[in-house]
Structure 1
Amino acid sequence: MELRQLRIFEAVVRHRTVTDAAHALDLAPSSVSARIRALEDGLGVPLFERTARGMRLTPSGERMLTWARRLLDAADQARREVVGTASALRLGALETIAATLVPRVLARLAARSPDVATEIRASGVRDELLAEVIGGTLDVALLLDTGDALGDLGFAPPEEPLTFVDVEPVPLVVVAAPDNPLAGRRDLRPDDLDGQSLLVNVENCSFRLAADRFLGPGPTRVRAGGVPVLRAWAEQGLGIALLPGFAVADALRQGSLAGLDLPVPDISLRLVWRSDREALPGLRELLYACAATPVG
C-alpha cells in the first residue's frame, strides 16, 4: 500500500464518487480509478461496490477506512516531527461561534498550554464541518446542538458516528425592538407570538431549528440572514428573533433590543471529534479551554 493510494481511497469514501474525488484531488477520474484498482489488487479484496448512486464500501472497505485514516494520521505526524514542524490542532467552528467564542477559547488555551498550536476554519455550514471531521481535514469542531445524540436539535445525523461532549449551555433569548407590543408583557407563551414576524436564517441553521422546536408554528417566518442580520433587523422593528444570549448581550444592555419574557431552553455548545483521534496532542487541553469559557 502506498500513502497516495490511501489518500485517494479516503477521498473517494468522502466524496462518494470517483468524479467528485478526482475533482477535489485535481486528478483525472481515470487516475483515481486506476489507483483504487491497484489498491484492491494489492490487497486481494474489493473495497467498493460500484453502484449507480456512487461508490459504496464493502465490509473490507469499512475496515480499510479505519486503517487508512490511522496510517495517514501517523504519516502526517511523522513528517511534522522529522521536519521540525509543530503539529497544529485543526479546529472548525460555526461562524457565529468563531466570531464570539473561539477567541476566548484560544486565549485560555494559550494561557494553559502555550505549546499547543491551532488552525481555525470558520464555516456557516454545519455539514461541511462534520464532513471534514469525518474525513480528517479537521480534528475537532465546535457546533450547537441539544439532546443525547448528535443532531437532536433537528439536524440529519452525521454520515459516520462521531464522539462529542457538551462543554457549555448556550442560553437563548427571544428579542424584539423595544416598542414591540410584546416587549412589556409578562409571562408570555408561544401562542402569544401568533401574528408576529419571526426573523430566521436558512432551514439548517441552529437558531431556526431551535425556534421551530421551542416557539411553535405560530409566528410567520421571514428569511433574513445570519445572526448579525437577524439582530439588526430585530432592532429596526422588522420582527422578533430567537438568538443566543452572547450575541445580543450588548444590544440588551444598551436598550436597542428588548428581551421578551418567554423562557426557552438552552442549547449546548458541543465539541465533536472522531473517536480514533482522541489521543491527538492538544485535544484534551482544547476541551478544558472550551469548558472553562462562559458563553452565557
Structure 2
Amino acid sequence: MESQDLRIFKAVAELQSISKAADRLDYVQSNISQRIKNLEDELGAPLFSRNNRGVTLTEEGSRLLDYTDQILGLMEEARSSVNPAKWKTTLAIGAPQTLSAVRIPRLLSSFLQDNRIDIRLKTDRAERLQEMLQYGEVEGIFVNGTFNNVLFTPVYAYDERVVVISSKPDDHSKELPGHHLIINSDPNCVYRRKLLDDYMKKKESINRTVMEFDSLEAILQAVKDGLGISVIPADVAYSRKELQSVQMEELPDPVRVSFIVKQGRKQSRPLKQFIRFLADNGLQPVDSQLAP
C-alpha cells in the first residue's frame, strides 16, 4: 500500500466519482480505476459500491478512509517537523457564507499570527459542509444550525447575535418596508428559519412574498435597494458601511454557532492547535450530549 494509492483512494471517496478524481489528480480514468482495484485486491475487500451516479464507500472503505486521513496527516506533520521552513502543515476547515463574511476571517487572522499553518477555508451550504467533514475534505466546520450528532461532535461553541435589516421607510408608517422576505435559498439556513418561523409569525397581519438568493451579498443588496427585509448576523450588519442606510432590529434570541469535528477521527496537530486557540479566545467548550 503506497501513499499515492491512499491519496487516489481519498480523492475518489471525497468526490464520490472516479472520473472527477481523475480530473482533480490529472490522471486518466483507467489509471484511477486500476489503482483502486489493486488496493481492493491487496486488502481483500471492496472499498466502493458502484452505481449509475458514481461510487459510495462500503463499510470497509469508510474504515480505510479514517486510517487514510491519519496516515496522510502524519506524513504532512513529519515533513513539517523535519523542515518547517520548507513544509507548512495545512488545516482545512469549512463555514457557511454568513460566518465567513466577518467572524471567521477575524479568528483566522489572529490564529495565524502565532502559528505556521496554511489554512484552507471552504464555504458552502450546511449540508454540503457536513458531507465534506464526513469524507475528510475538511477537518472541522463551523455550523449555525442542526447537525448530525451521530457522525459529528461539537468541541467549541458561541452565541451569535442576529438582527433584522430593512430599508428605512420614506414616511412615518409603522409597517415594515418592501414586499418581500429576502432569504437564503438553502432550506436549512438558520437565518431563513429565524425570519420565516420566529420573526414573521409575530406579524401575522403582514402578508409578504418570499424572494430567495444564493449569496449573502445579493441578500444585502436586495435589502439596501428596498426590496424587503432579511435576518443576518449582527457582526455582518454592524461592520458593513453600505448598511448604514438601513434600519436594524436586534432579535432577543441568539443563534448557537458550533465548531464540530468527526467523531472517532484522530485529530491532527494543526486541528488541536486551532481548538486550543478557540478555547483561549472566549469560545466555550460544549457537552456533545447537549448538541442539537
Q: Shorter-chain TM-score: which interval?
A: 0.7 to 0.9
Q: How much has 1:264 moved relative to structure 2?
A: 5.9
Instruction: State the partner residue of 1:203.
Output: 186
In 2 relative to 1, CA 50–226 (structure 1 residues): closer, same or farther, beyond 3 Å?
closer
Are 1:167 and 2:157 an aligned pair?
yes
SS at structure 2 position matched to 1:50 = strand
* Amino acid corresponding to residue 123 of structure 2 in structure 1: S
CA contact (8 A) 1:180 1:237 kept: no
Q: How much has 1:101 moved relative to structure 2?
A: 1.1
Aligned partner of 2:278 among 261, 282, 287: 287
Instruction: State the partner residue of 2:289.
Output: none
Identity between Structure 1 and Structure 2 (%): 24
SS at structure 1 position matched to 2:138 = coil
Q: How much has 1:249 moved relative to structure 2?
A: 2.4
Aligned partner of 1:87 among 60, 66, 89: 89
What TM-score do you get using the length of structure 2 for normalisation? 0.76
Alignment partners' CA distance in 2, 1:216 and 1:258: 17
Cα-Cα RMSD = 3.5
- Once the two structures are overlaid, the 10-residue window that deviates more, 175-184 or 23-32, is 175-184
In 2 relative to 1, CA 25–49 (structure 1 residues): closer, same or farther, beyond 3 Å?
same
Instruction: State the partner residue of 1:67.
Output: 67
CA contact (8 A) 1:109 1:285 kept: no
Listed as ranges, the matches of 1:59-208 within 5 Å are: 59-84=59-84, 85-109=87-111, 114-115=114-115, 117-145=117-145, 149-150=146-147, 161-179=151-169, 184=174, 196-204=179-187, 205-208=189-192
SS at structure 2 position matched to 1:240 = strand
CA deviation map 1:75-127 (0-9, x unaligned): 2222332333232433333333233112331354357xx13534142524444
Alignment partners' CA distance in 2, 1:40 and 1:87: 30
Instruction: State the partner residue of 2:253.
Output: 265
Are 1:240 and 2:229 an aligned pair?
yes
In 2 relative to 1, CA 25–250 (structure 1 residues): closer, same or farther, beyond 3 Å?
closer
CA deviation map 1:211-249 (0-9, x unaligned): 333245853112355334333332332211112222222
* Amino acid corresponding to residue 86 of structure 1 in structure 2: K
Q: How many residues align structurally? A: 273
For structure 1, the 5+ residue unaligned runs are 151-156, 186-192
What TM-score do you get using the length of structure 1 for normalisation? 0.75
For structure 2, the 5+ residue unaligned runs are 202-206, 285-292
Instruction: State the partner residue of 1:188.
Output: none
Aligned partner of 1:214 among 193, 198, 207: 198
Q: How much has 1:279 moved relative to structure 2?
A: 4.8
Aligned partner of 2:262 among 253, 274, 284: 274
SS at structure 2 position matched to 1:136 = coil
CA contact (8 A) 2:92 2:120 kept: yes
